[in-house]
Amino acid sequence: MENIRNFCIIAHIDHGKSTLADRMLEYTKTIKITENQMLDDMDLERERGITIKSHAIQMEYSLDGKKYILNLIDTPGHVDFSYEVSRSIAACEGALLVVDATQGVQAQTISNLYMAIDHDLEIIPVINKIDMPNAMPEEVEDEILDLIGCDPEDIIRASGKTGEGVPDILKAVVERIPAPKGDPEKPLQMLIFDSIFNSFRGIIVLGKVVNGVVRQGDEVKFVQTGMEYTADEVGVLKMDLEPRKTLSTGEVGYIISGIKNATEVKVGDTITHVDQPCDKAIEGFQEVKPMVFAGVYPIDPTEYENLRSSLEKLQLNDASLTFMPESSQALGFGFRCGFLGLLHMEIVQERLDREFNMEVITTVPNVSYLVYTKQGEELEVHNPSGLPDPTEIDHIDEPYIKASIITSADYIGPIIKLCLDKRGELLDQQYISGNRVELHFMLPLGEIVIDFYDKLKSISKGYASFDYHIDSYRPSKLIKLDILLNGEPVDALSTLTHQDNAVTLGRNMCEKLKELIPRQQFDIAIQAAIGAKIVARETVKQVRKDVLAKCYGGDVSRKRKLLEKQKKGKKRMKQIGNVQVPQKAFLAVLKLD
């Protein structure tokens, strides 16, 4: 136990976490990067290694004639997965804080750093990319000193590109990070911080043994779920799985026990022995709850069962995805999916498309609301069309986030305006160094899921960084805005919005839909309504003449091309009543400016 060091790397995306990790693996000869081996990258062995590497990997390192085991545990970088980040951090005794010398400290870095400090981790600050011509190591050093108040000598300057500073980092890991504590004589407690899905072996559970010892063949129990399994294989993670007879206190490793479904494995859960269980689970377990919801519908209604099986397969290795059947008058049968956040939603959409070739329509994302009825009931509503009749609603609470934005001072004005427009409240602002400022806001999550990221990026020319966590549910004056096409309400286009913004939103929606819905053989009325009251209206005029009339002469091939093009366009159309509505229209609310 004395010779073990467990650590993670905290870094903003692109600040060089992976590159530095590779350099450490290379330096410790865990992997050999030679020209030839790089070319072998494609083969399966290596691919498997890479999956493991991106979760946790063990290195051997010698200092002053003593051998050490270093376990590098990966932390997911994005706020959507912040609970998983905190579990990875809880498995470590130290963290490298890596900051890009050309960029400085970013919002997500700070929130992960605070998490690490909360868990009493030893922090080793590293300024990376010092080889770059536009590196500003002095400025970044000031930012780091402000942030953690360390000694300037404690900050290591490094380059993942040239390898400079990498030996110093490894030395600091051994010298500064304490060995894990714990008692091998106590009943087993193993903290689950991650899991890997493997189609041959099932779920590989990754964890750190906090107390006790686990042996191959042991009967083990997952405390939160109460499920019992046999530990068919235990071992450590190098470039591949390396089976061992035992994993002892302080060690990081894996257990395989034939689990097929990721939903049985909860990050943060404790594994113990069936016959000699620990008296309590490791603290801090928290079930991750989806916060963002959207309807997912097959474009082709006959694909409904395929969509279900695709979602089931995705769930095998993504325990945080939830879905339940839902039907929409407009879109037919589909599923209401729950995601941890926006990025998670994008990942799932992307995977449905790439891995399962599923053509789907996704509706506008919304958050989870708490609706209190006049009868005193409390309902959790994930879909605007699931809202009870307005006359029965006493009030609605919506989730608020506490957001942190780091920006150069030049953009403070426009950023504050954006957040106020999104019903935000500025809590405070602090200069972190020279020209850079950190702003804190309370904001309704529902406003963030619409188009906040894009706007923040465009007004700050890509420089502002953003991070958030859920703070509380608060009462809001929310009302439902409906959209009608030729008098028919289209449930998939309904949104919940603040009453002060509803009329403007209705007007903007109608204008946008007018742009998006193509002309057809008849006039199409687009209306926005609050309850029975129409608040906006636009009309898509009927087509005046046949499109084909534009093709002069007898140019057959051209005519055919045009027809094919129309057919393709139609595929992404949904028939609603007698109106053809393109897929884009269902996301119209995201495209308003």
Comparing CB distances to ligand GDP, the nearer of 20 and 502 is 20
C-alpha dist (Å) from residue 388 to 47, 230, 364, 375, 379: 51, 48, 19, 12, 9
Contact letters (x/-) for ligand GDP, 4-23, by CB under 6 A?
-------x-xxxxxxx----
Comparing CB distances to ligand GDP, the nearer of 128 and 366 is 128
Taking the complex as a whole, how short is the minimal distance between the CB of residue 48 and Mg ion, in angstroms? Answer: 18
204 is in an annotated binding site: no
* 221 is a site residue for ligand GDP (CB under 6 A): no
Sign of CA dihedral 229, 232, 237, 240: negative
Residue nearest to Mg ion (CB): 18
Among 3, 18, 246, 306, binds Mg ion (CB under 5 A): 18
CA separation for the pair 449, 326 (Å, rounded): 21
- Shortest CA distance to 189 belongs to which of 243, 233, 251? 251
Interaction with ligand GDP in 106-135: which residues (CB under 6 A)?
A: 128-129, 131-132
Binding partner at 175 among ligand GDP, Mg ion, none, C-beta below 5 to 8 Å by kind: none
Q: How many residues bind ligand GDP (CB under 6 A)?
A: 15
Comparing CB distances to ligand GDP, the nearer of 13 and 548 is 13
Comparing CB distances to Mg ion, the nearer of 17 and 157 is 17
CA separation for the pair 325, 323 (Å, rounded): 7
Residues 6+ apart with CB under 8 A from 347: none
Strands 322-328 and 213-215, how do they pair?
unpaired
Contact letters (x/-) for Mg ion, 377-416, by CB under 5 A?
----------------------------------------
Taking the complex as a whole, how short is the minimal distance between the CB of residue 10 and ligand GDP, in angstroms? Answer: 10
Q: Coil, strand or helix: which one is 547? A: helix
Q: Give me 228's structure tokens.
A: 């019992």
Report the amino acid identity of residue 81. F
Binding partner at 161 among Mg ion, ligand GDP, none, C-beta below 5 to 8 Å by kind: ligand GDP
Interaction with ligand GDP in 466-525: which residues (CB under 6 A)?
A: none
Residues 6+ apart with CB under 8 A from 525: 484, 485, 486, 487, 537, 538, 539
Binding partner at 465 among ligand GDP, Mg ion, none, C-beta below 5 to 8 Å by kind: none
Taking the complex as a whole, how short is the minimal distance between the CB of residue 15 and ligand GDP, in angstroms? Answer: 5
Taking the complex as a whole, how short is the minimal distance between the CB of residue 285 and ligand GDP, in angstroms? Answer: 28
In this structure, the dihedral spanned by the alpha carbons of residues 224, 228, 230 and 236, taken in order and rounded to 10 degrees, is 0
Taking the complex as a whole, how short is the minimal distance between the CB of residue 25 and Mg ion, in angstroms? Answer: 13
∠273-265-30 over CA atoms, to 5°? 85
Taking the complex as a whole, how short is the minimal distance between the CB of residue 162 and ligand GDP, in angstroms? Answer: 7
* 438 is a site residue for ligand GDP (CB under 6 A): no
128 is in an annotated binding site: yes
Assign residue 163 a region: left if phi > 0, alpha if psi is -120 to 50, beta otherwise? left
Comparing CB distances to Mg ion, the nearer of 18 and 317 is 18
Sign of CA dihedral 474, 479, 485, 489: positive
16 is in an annotated binding site: yes
Phi, psi of 321 (to 5 degrees): -80, 130
Residues 6+ apart with CB under 8 A from 220: 188, 214, 228, 229, 230, 231, 255, 257, 271, 272, 273, 274
Comparing CB distances to Mg ion, the nearer of 107 and 256 is 107
Taking the complex as a whole, how short is the minimal distance between the CB of residue 453 and ligand GDP, in angstroms? Answer: 18
Comparing CB distances to ligand GDP, the nearer of 401 and 406 is 406
Taking the complex as a whole, how short is the minimal distance between the CB of residue 585 and ligand GDP, in angstroms? Answer: 36
17 is in an annotated binding site: yes
Comparing CB distances to Mg ion, the nearer of 15 and 436 is 15
Interaction with ligand GDP in 145-174: which residues (CB under 6 A)?
A: 159-161
Comparing CB distances to ligand GDP, the nearer of 346 and 523 is 346
317 is in an annotated binding site: no
Comparing CB distances to ligand GDP, the nearer of 132 and 420 is 132
Binding partner at 160 among ligand GDP, Mg ion, none, C-beta below 5 to 8 Å by kind: ligand GDP
Interaction with ligand GDP in 17-76: which residues (CB under 6 A)?
A: 17-19
The residues with which 229 forms a beta bridge, in sequence order, are 220
Taking the complex as a whole, how short is the minimal distance between the CB of residue 134 and Mg ion, in angstroms? Answer: 21
Report the amino acid identity of residue 448. I
CA separation for the pair 482, 493 (Å, rounded): 7
366 is in an annotated binding site: no
Query: In this chain, which stretch among 16-24, 133-141, 221-229, 484-492 interacts with Mg ion, using CB under 5 A?
Result: 16-24
> Cα 495 to chain center, whole Å?
23
∠140-8-466 over CA atoms, to 5°? 50
Q: How many residues bind Mg ion (CB under 5 A)?
A: 1
CB–CB of 219/275 below 8 Å? yes
CA separation for the pair 157, 126 (Å, rounded): 6
Range list of β-strands (E), 377-532: 378-381, 393-408, 425-433, 436-444, 465-476, 478-485, 488-489, 495-498, 524-530
66 is in an annotated binding site: no
CA separation for the pair 204, 196 (Å, rounded): 5
CB–CB of 119/88 below 8 Å? no
Sites of contact with Mg ion (CB under 5 A): 18
Q: Which residues are annotated as a binding site for GTP?
A: 14-19, 128-131
Sites of contact with ligand GDP (CB under 6 A): 11, 13-19, 128-129, 131-132, 159-161
Q: Which residues are annotated as a binding site?
A: 14-19, 128-131
